[in-house]
Amino acid sequence: MNPQKLFIVLAGAMAGLPMAMAQQATVTAPGVPANLRVPGGHALYLKAHAEGTQNYICTPGAGGAAWKLFGPQATLFISFPWLRGEVTQQIATHYPSANPLEGGLARPTWQHSIDTSAVWAKAAASSTDPAFVEQGAIPWLLLEVTGARRGPMGGMALSQTTYIQRLNTSGGSAPGSGCDDSLHGATVMVPYQTDYLFYQAERRN
């Protein structure tokens, strides 16, 4: 595909992105362990697939050296029909950063790739229930938003979020070995995939 045609396709995909996000409002929340259910009064508005790494550092501890999570690094995507096929579009990035609404406390962060609106969240509940969670994968989570920020132009694609679920995880668990007293400060990046589901407060008429 020549550069001009590629630009036209990508521009069209970007133009269709708001509609694709609106269509996601009809996505049905999947079954989850009881403790990961989102409280009443909140509705699912966006589902995205993420690929990246869970990052660990070798640290000392009372029971000996161990791998400690210091944050994720991932890219979130959504797919939607376009022309005669399907387009997969980056929608957000996921990483740890300082939450300005909690005095700079480091929290998992999701930042929208277009309007740069962002949310910070903390884990409210987790599950490794084998009826849901793949063996060896990181837990499924329910996260509660602790801070939100609109983009510089007022965009609020993600700042409306109240709860996030991390579901359908694969990989990402800390290594079972390779960290000892001689390796303090060593890091390892473990590939993972998951789905993030974003909820907002239900609108009242």
Q: Give pLDDT tens digits for 53-71.
A: 999 999 998 888 999 999 9
pLDDT at 205: 62
Residue 172 CB neighbours (<10 A): 24
pLDDT band for position 26 (cuts 50, 70, 90) = low
**Contact status, residue 87 vs residue 6, Cβ threshold 8 Å:** no
pLDDT band for position 203 (cuts 50, 70, 90) = confident
Mean pLDDT of 107-111: 98
- In three-state secondary structure terms, 43 is strand
Q: Got the DSSP string for 8-34? A: HHHHHHHHHHHHHHHHGGGPPPPP--G
Among the listed ranges 61-65, 91-95, 195-199, which one has the minimum average pLDDT value?
A: 61-65
Element (H, E) at 44: strand 42-59
